[in-house]
Amino acid sequence: MVAAKSVEAPNIGFDFSNYARNQFFGERLQGIPKATSTGTTIVGVIFGGGDSGEEYGVCLGADTRATGGPIVADKNCEKIHYLTPQIRCCGAGTAADTEFVTNLISSNLELHALSQGRPARVVTAMTMLKQYLFRYQGQVGAHLVLGGVDVTGPQLFTVHAHGSTDKLPYVTMGSGSLAAMAVFESSFRENMKREEAIALVARAIRSGIFNDLGSGSNVDVAVITKNGTENMRNYEMPNERGIKSRNYKFRRGTTAWTKEAVRSLIVSEEIKSTTGAGKDQGGVEVVPVPTGAGAGGEEGMEIDT
């Protein structure tokens, strides 16, 4: 008796079964389709503590443009990913990779925190990310800015796709990193107040949006302190589209069609009353109630009006 082979390939990890076929297609045709990348400007700063008098924290910022080659694929994508309630991760590089790697590590961090009985630390997230990315030798194209607050204080790291990490007080990544770093190098100070940090981050992202072709649209900001995270999605929208002055609706009937099939989703209903003194009931004598004095007597009682 031969055991039946499973129909489904195992659902864990990557499936390389199409690799050879795709190499063949790559040679035969114009090449493999380009994946969506987040050209991007992503930044992070540590603020607070020391002279500022405010509690310390991490402020992360990102633009919202996702490109597929030279075309803008998404005008308002979210690049600040959730890892834990107190840790966030901005992602640049191949968009699917940043999305899936942050989801995977977020999931593992939650399990880790539950098994350890204490909130996950930023270094734990960093170590999980770098060990995963190194294992894939840079093929998983995720360039990340990782920031958060844990028991050891505010932490800010960068993680590159090949698995290297840096620990710094202010960081920028992505194609717009030079534009953003120019802003940081001139204006960053240690122990900034919260409002100052947010303004600086927004300026750095705007610098990337307007000067770098791979970044654009809006500014997203996330502020993490030991009390929690404030997510400011679309904190600034400096590229709102103007209202169209003309209406481009077509006259109904413009488009010629040859066949139409209508699939109705409403099942027709027929209501048949069979309870109470319904007139439909057979064998029931309809006795008119006389009008007169008494409760409800004036208007009379009509059965089944």
Partner 1 sequence: MELNGGSVVAMIGKDCVAIASDLRLGNQAVGVASNFDKVFPVNDKLYYGLPGLATDVYTLKEHLRFRVNMYRMKEEREITPKTFTHLVSSTLYEKRFGPFFIEPVVAGLPTATELDPHPKPFISTMDTIGCITTPKDFAVAGTAQDKLYGVAEGLWEPDLEPEDLFETISQTLLNAVDRDALSGWGAVVHIITHKEVITRTLRARMD
| Size, binding site for partner 1 by CB under 8 A | 54
Cβ(109)–Cβ(129) below 8 Å: no
What the block records as the tokens of 99 is 């999305």
- By beta-carbon proximity to partner 1, the closer residue of 56 and 134 is 134
| Contact indicator for 99, 81 with CB cutoff of 8 Å | yes
Considering only residues 49-108, where is the footprint of partner 1 by CB under 8 A? 66, 68, 71, 73-75, 77, 94-97, 99-100
Is residue 266 involved in binding partner 1 (CB under 8 A)?
Answer: yes
Are 155 and 123 spatial neighbours (Cβ–Cβ below 8 Å)?
yes
Binding track over 180-219 against partner 1, x by CB under 8 A: ----------------------------------------
* Closer residue to partner 1 in complex, CB, 256/271: 256
Q: 40 catalytic, yes or no?
A: yes
CA distances from 27 to 16, 32, 69, 89, 286 (A): 18, 9, 19, 37, 87
C-alpha to C-alpha distance for 80 and 89, rounded to whole angstroms? 6
The window from 160-168, 197-205, 222-230, 254-262 that contacts partner 1 (CB under 8 A) reads: 254-262
State the Cα–Cα distance between residues 59 and 119, nearest whole angstrom: 20
In the complex, the smallest distance separating the C-beta of residue 114 from partner 1, rounded to whole angstroms, is 23
Which listed residue (2, 3, 4, 16) binds partner 1 by CB under 8 A?
16
Q: Residue 96, SS3?
A: helix
Among 1, 265, 286, 287, binds partner 1 (CB under 8 A): 265
Nearer to partner 1, 59 or 105 (CB): 105
Kindly identify the residues of this chain, within the stretch 228-247, that bind partner 1 according to CB under 8 A.
244, 247
Asked if 264 is part of the footprint of partner 1 (rule: CB under 8 A), the reply reads yes
The conformation of residue 241, written as its DSSP 8-state character, comes to P
Q: Does 267 bind partner 1 (CB under 8 A)?
A: no
Catalytic residue among 40, 64, 94, 158: 40
Closest CA to 177 of 217, 149, 143, 132: 143
To the nearest whole angstrom, how small is the minimum distance from the Cβ of residue 54 to partner 1?
36
One-letter identity of residue 36: T
* Residue with smaller CB distance to partner 1, 5 or 21: 21
Looking at this protein, which amino acid is placed at residue 89? C
Half-sphere exposure in the Cβ direction for 38 (13 Å, CA): 31
Query: What is the rounded distance in angstroms from the CA atom of residue 163 to the CA atom of residue 138?
Result: 7
Q: Report the amino acid identity of residue 94.
A: T
Tell me the CA distances in angstroms from 298 to 168, 289, 291, one per residue in order: 87, 11, 6
251 interacts with partner 1 by CB under 8 A: yes
- 78 is written with which tokens? 């979210």
Return the residue of 15, 166, 195, 304 that touches partner 1, per CB under 8 A.
15
Asked if 19 interacts with partner 1 (CB under 8 A), we say yes
Among 4, 24, 27, 30, binds partner 1 (CB under 8 A): 30
Binding interface with partner 1 (CB under 8 A): 8, 11, 14-22, 25, 28-30, 32-33, 35-36, 66, 68, 71, 73-75, 77, 94-97, 99-100, 139-140, 244, 247-252, 254-266
Residues taking part in catalysis: 40
